[in-house]
Structure 1
């Protein structure tokens, strides 16, 4: 009688641990976004996190009237060093590498997209390396 309860308990614990890992720690996707850095702000009630917004260039709504196409990329930053670097880059063209998670954690930020590195920062009058965007 004691053995089935132990096996069921272990299986249940493993399933819960697997679900938590998949939901909050599994990197669902990663990539690079380029555009003009709109703002970086530190906010939160208990966990103060760095949040930012990037305005992507070249994205327009489709041919359908009334369709909505967002050219804003909302992201969170967990590394204070990266946040400090971006705070001085407001209004400049930046390329950011990010990781996408399925769920959010309060100490990681409010966005599913977490920036883990800054690839390049350029003035608006120059081109971003490798982006083909000249302003």
Structure 2
């Protein structure tokens, strides 16, 4: 891992967020929605290189009491494979372990093959007892 990477506990601006999502191959989002989302994060972590370019991020969202969700784990392709996803997850889990409510439910939706990363942090598949579902507006 590059020692020149800054780890910040701050959500990126909406335009940076959308650019990182696109670069990392995640689905597009609306800029107005992105602005609201960044402002309403419970916790966010960003990784920036020596020129302060956003190279990775992750967020915790939820109600802050019973339910938390990990979202937006993204690393620019030219920085992937160097442990930055693991660093992001470590920061998010450290936050949750320190500030999360005892007995709270922490969920995420894992893209394959990223599920192997999340397993290292104790996440388990919900099936066959339950399955993830979604509806896009």
Same fold by TM-score greater than 0.5: no
| TM-score normalised according to structure 2 size | 0.30
Structure ranking higher on relative contact order (CA contacts 8 Å, 6+ apart):
1
| Structure with the bigger percentage of helix | 2
| TM-score normalised according to structure 1 size | 0.30
The structure whose Rg is larger is 1
| Structure with the bigger percentage of strand | 1
